[in-house]
Structures are given as structure tokens and as C-alpha cells.
């Protein structure tokens, strides 16, 4: 049976605020999808939440995977006082105020305080230091949510006092369930609207959301709100309408964050493992995400010596040519030069002999310091130098068969030392 038609003004009044993603947040642990590994029945985190025995934790994962949602569920379940801050808009004064309130609660009421800090990686070292003694003595139970690698963004003393839980990106099955639930929920979702949409179109929304439930839900809501009603009172959402709504897919990419290093690592290892298809894909991902092409070029130049070296001396020529092309023509034309170079590196024979030799020599230089150059290979442009035996007994290689001679080139302390194999 078709649902009663709802006119557009009523539609906007009923569901336009707050956003669908906010309205559809799960309010129970059982409703949290996609994090089965850390929230399964009997898991330590679930037991701690259900029995109100939480310790300080860091929730690390991509946007829209449930970090903030889980923190709100904890707020409803805990008997502790709950304070929420966002590191983007908060500072030392807010931290001090929260800590002072927590100290009062524990002193006069014997009540613990949970301090939830969203985007905790935005706090600098001084701000994180301000929380440290109060996390350590139990005045506050910290919940920090971050999209960035805690190893780099959270100071070690604070990190060592927290348990880190890694949230995975939501998979297609979970996102499909979330979208379909939003379409059928008459109270918080879009169930009051007669919407016709296929699984194929929902798949498209999911693919354009980068595993982010917030993006997926808000894309769906905007598509429904802006779609005119058909003659039969139905809003039909197809692939074309979704693409019109989204306009251009902007790849999620933080040039200074964890994903930056993940992607360049993928480029490097794909080339090292002789996989040109993966090298092309990951290089393209970085370029489409807005990475500086010169950064990729520098890494390819480095790769040519580190992982190929003398196994194919032309690799360095190709890499430097790609770098020069980037500098000369810029993007988007330079993309092809980089793709050509990445493909060449992946298909070239591999040798790390140059890299290994450099590392061994560097270790000796740092350990033994400035060892003197053997006298026999020192230059002697003055009479004094000759009198001091500079260059004495030197054999000019071109005077010998094959231009090869045996004489001391290494310092005395390193005679016989081998670097290049």
C-alpha cells in the first residue's frame, strides 16, 4: 500500500533538522554495527561499558565509524558525571574547568567523571600535558576520539595510560543495513516518505561515502529532500540523481595525516614488489587526492636508487626525468609522467645493494668518526705536502692494464671492509 503523500513544506518541517545522520545514531550497544571485534558479547570493552567499569581509552578510527556514537552510549550507561569537549573549539581553560569540576565531584560526592574529548589529536602537547596528572590519579576517566594515529598525535605519557581501541571502517553490509533502516524508520528516519530506490543505487551511495555512515546518510537525506515527487506520489531516486547530488567525488585525503603515509607506503611497496597495477592505482589515488606531484616524484627518485640501483641504472634517469616533467608542466599533465615512472620502477629488476652499502658505510662513519685519508691517495699540490709523503707511491690507474690497481684506499681502521655486494 502506498504511503500517504506528504507535501514539501511538511516534509522539511518534520525531517530537515537535525540531520538524518544525527537522528539515526544508535542508542544501544546492540544497535552499533561494524565494530563486532571490539563490541562483541563478552568482549572486554563491552563488559567494561555494561558494568560501568571503564578505564581511560582512546578510540581511533576513520570518520563516521561510530566513535562518537559509542561515547554517547557510554554517557547514558555510566553512573559517572559526563563532560564532553571538542578539541577544535576547546583549550587549556576548558580542560582546567573540567578537571576542577571532576575534583569537586570525587571529593564531595565520591562520583567519578568521564571526560570525552572529540578530535583529541587537535590538542597540542601542552594541552595534553594538562590532563596527564588527572588521568594518572583517576580524577578523570578519559575517552579520546581521533581519526589520526595515536602513536604520532598523542603524547607518549598520556598514551601509555590509555587503552587504544581501533575502529574499523564500516563495511558495505553494515552501511546497507544503516541506509535501509533510515528509509523505513517512521520516527527518526525517512519512513514517512514514499521513496523508491534500488540496492544498486544504495550501493552507489555507499561507494561515494568512503565507508563513512555520516556521509552516506546525509547524501541519502539530501537526495530524498531535493527529489521532486513523481505523478504517483513517489520519490524515485536513481543513480543519475545521486551523482547529480554528489556532483564530484572528492577523495578523502589528508596530506599531513596518517593516510598520507599509508598511501605513499603503498606506492613504495607496490613498486618494490614489482606490481605495476597497484603502483599505478596508489599513485593515482594520491594525485587525485591533491598530493603535491613533486613529493611523489621525490619518492620515486629515492626508490630508483634504494630498490633498483645498479640492477637497472636507467631507472634513476627515468625517475629524474619524471621529476623534471612535473616541474616543467605541472598538473594535470604531469600525472602521466609519474604514472610512467611508477610503472617503470615496478617492472625494473630490483637490487638494494646501493642502499645496503650506504647504510653500512654510514654506520662506520658515525661510529669511527673522521678517519684520516691514507697518504698514498692524498693530493700533493705543494712541496711541503710532498715532503710529508702526500701521494707517495701513488699508482696512476691508467698506466696499468685494465686501468686497475691495488693500493690502499680505505683508512687503516677499515682495511678490507666491504660495503658493496
Q: What is the pLDDT of residues 151-173, one digit of tens each?
A: 888 999 999 999 999 999 899 99
Give the residue from 226, 217, 269, 258 showing the smallest Cα distance to 245. Answer: 226
Peptide bond into 371 cis (omega under 30): no
Could you count the other beta carbons within 10 Å of the beta carbon of residue 169?
A: 16
Could you count the other beta carbons within 10 Å of the beta carbon of residue 141?
A: 23
First-to-final CA distance of the chain? 78
pLDDT at 357 over 50: yes
- What is the percentage of the chain residues whose pLDDT exceeds 90? 66
pTM, entire model: 0.68
Q: Please tell me the predicted confidence (pLDDT) of residue 291.
A: 86
Beta-strand relationship, 195-197 and 163-166: unpaired
Q: How far apart are CA 183 and CA 197, in angstroms?
A: 9
Give me the half-sphere count of Cα atoms (radius 13 Å) on the Cβ side of residue 10. 6
pLDDT at 255 over 70: no
What mean pLDDT is predicted for residues 352-365?
93
Beta-strand relationship, 57-60 and 163-166: parallel
pLDDT at 252 over 70: no
Tell me the per-residue pLDDT of 322-334, one tens digit each, with 9 for 90 and over: 999 998 988 889 9
pLDDT at 8 over 70: no
pLDDT bucket at 3, cuts 50 / 70 / 90: very low
CA dihedral 265, 269, 271, 274 (to 10 degrees): -160
Tell me the per-residue pLDDT of 165-198, one tens digit each, with 9 for 90 and over: 999 989 999 999 999 999 999 989 999 999 999 9
pLDDT at 13 over 60: no
Could you count the other beta carbons within 10 Å of the beta carbon of residue 323?
A: 21
pLDDT at 12 over 70: no
What mean pLDDT is predicted for residues 340-363?
95
pLDDT bucket at 7, cuts 50 / 70 / 90: very low
CB-based burial, 14-26: b 16+ in 10 Å, e otherwise: ebeeeebbebbbb
- Dihedral of alpha carbons 353, 354, 355, 356, sign: positive
What mean pLDDT is predicted for residues 116-125?
94
Give the residue from 90, 198, 75, 93 showing the smallest Cα distance to 141. Answer: 75
What is the strand order of the sheet 140-146 is part of? 81-86, 113-118, 140-146, 57-60, 163-166
Q: What is the mean pLDDT of the chain?
A: 89
Considering only 161-165, 207-211, 248-252, 396-400, which range has the smallest mean pLDDT?
Answer: 248-252
pLDDT greater at residue 277 or residue 254: 277
Q: Please tell me the predicted confidence (pLDDT) of residue 256.
A: 58
What are the C-alpha distances in Å from 114 to residues 66, 78, 102, 105, 142?
A: 18, 9, 8, 11, 6
Q: Please tell me the predicted confidence (pLDDT) of residue 215.
A: 92
Q: Please tell me the predicted confidence (pLDDT) of residue 249.
A: 55
C-beta of residue 323 within 8 angstroms of C-beta of residue 298? yes
Q: Helix and strand tally (H, E) in the chain?
A: 20, 7
Peptide bond into 124 cis (omega under 30): no
Q: How far apart are CA 337 and CA 345, in angstroms?
A: 12
Q: Please tell me the predicted confidence (pLDDT) of residue 152.
A: 85
Q: Give φ, ψ of 240 to 5 degrees.
A: -60, -40
Cell numbers placing 122: 587537535
Could you count the other beta carbons within 10 Å of the beta carbon of residue 393?
A: 10
Name all domains of the chain by residue range, CATH numbers in brackets. 8-23+171-246 (1.10.8.60), 35-166 (3.40.50.300), 258-347 (1.20.272.10), 363-414 (no CATH)
Amino acid at each position: 500500500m502506498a504511503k500517504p503523500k506528504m507535501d514539501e513544506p511538511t516534509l522539511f518541517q518534520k525531517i530537515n533538522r537535525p540531520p538524518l545522520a544525527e537522528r539515526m545514531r544508535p542508542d544501544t550497544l546492540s544497535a552499533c554495527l561494524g565494530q563486532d571485534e571490539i563490541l562483541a558479547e563478552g568482549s572486554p570493552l563491552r563488559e567494561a561499558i555494561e558494568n560501568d567499569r571503564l578505564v581511560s581509552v582512546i578510540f581511533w578510527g576513520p570518520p563516521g565509524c561510530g566513535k562518537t556514537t559509542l561515547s554517547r552510549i557510554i554517557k547514558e550507561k555510566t553512573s559517572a558525571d559526563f563532560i564532553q569537549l571538542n578539541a577544535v573549539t576547546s583549550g587549556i581553560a576548558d580542560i582546567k574547568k573540567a578537571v576542577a569540576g571532576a575534583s569537586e565531584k570525587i571529593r564531595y560526592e565520591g562520583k567519578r567523571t568521564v571526560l570525552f574529548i572529540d578530535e583529541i589529536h587537535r590538542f597540542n602537547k601542552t594541552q595534553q600535558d594538562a590532563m596527564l596528572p588527572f588521568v594518572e590519579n583517576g580524577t578523570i576517566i578519559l575517552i579520546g576520539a581521533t581519526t589520526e594515529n595515536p602513536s604520532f598525535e598523542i603524547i607518549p605519557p598520556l598514551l601509555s595510560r590509555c587503552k587504544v581501541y581501533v575502529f574499523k571502517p564500516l563495511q558495505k553490509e553494515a552501511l546497507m543495513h544503516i541506509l535501509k533502516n533510515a528509509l523505513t524508520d517512521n520516527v527518526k528516519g525517512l519512513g514517512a516518505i514514499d521513496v523508491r530506490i534500488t540496492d544498486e543505487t544504495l550501493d552507489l551511495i555507499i561507494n561515494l561515502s568512503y565507508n563513512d555512515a555520516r556521509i552516506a546518510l546525509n547524501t541519502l537525506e539530501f537526495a530524498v529532500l531535493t527529489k521532486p515527487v513523481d505523478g504517483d506520489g513517489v520519490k524515485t531516486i536513481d543513480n543519475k540523481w545521486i551523482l547529480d547530488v554528489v556532483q564530484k567525488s572528492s577523495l578523502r585525503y589528508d596530506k599531513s595525516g596518517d593516510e598520507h603515509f599509508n598511501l605513499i607506503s603503498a606506492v613504495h611497496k607496490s613498486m618494490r614488489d614489482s606490481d605495476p597495477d597497484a603502483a599505478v592505482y596508489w599513485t593515482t589515488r594520491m594525485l587525485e587526492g591533491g598530493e603535491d606531484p613533486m613529493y611523489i616524484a621525490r619518492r620515486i627518485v629515492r626508490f630508483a636508487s634504494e630498490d633498483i640501483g645498479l640492477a637497472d641504472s636507467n631507472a634513476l634517469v627515468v625517475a629524474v626525468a619524471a621529476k623534471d616533467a612535473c616541474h616543467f608542466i605541472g598538473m594535470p599533465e604531469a600525472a602521466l609522467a609519474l604514472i610512467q615512472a611508477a610503472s617503470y620502477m615496478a617492472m625494473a629488476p630490483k637490487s638494494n645493494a646501493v642502499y645496503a652499502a650506504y647504510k653500512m658505510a654510514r654506520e662506520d662513519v658515525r661510529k669511527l668518526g673522521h678517519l684520516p685519508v691514507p697518504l698514498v691517495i692524498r693530493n700533493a699540490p705543494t712541496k711541503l705536502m710532498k715532503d710529508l709523503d702526500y701521494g707517495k707511491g701513488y699508482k696512476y690507474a691508467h698506466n696499468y692494464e685494465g686501468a686497475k690497481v691495488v693500493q690502499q684506499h680505505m683508512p687503516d681502521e677499515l682495511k678490507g671492509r666491504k660495503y658493496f655486494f
